[in-house]
Amino acid sequence: MSTPSVPASRNGTYTIDAAHSRLGFVARHAMVTKVRGSFDQFEVCAIRNAEAA
> What is the pLDDT at residue 28?
94
Residue 24 to residues 10, 13, 32, 40, 48, Cα–Cα distance (Å): 28, 23, 20, 9, 24
Q: Digits of tens for pLDDT over the chain (53 positions)?
A: 666 666 678 889 999 898 899 999 999 999 899 999 999 999 999 998 877 55
> What is the pLDDT at residue 53?
53
**Residues whose CB is less than 8 angstroms from the CB of residue 48 and which lie 6 or more positions away in sequence, other chains included:** 10, 11, 12, 13, 14
Look at residue 1 and give its three-state secondary structure. coil
> What is the pLDDT at residue 31?
86
pTM: 0.51
Q: Where are the domains of the chain?
A: 9-52
> What is the pLDDT at residue 20?
92
Q: Report the C-alpha gap between 29 and 8 in whole angstroms.
A: 44
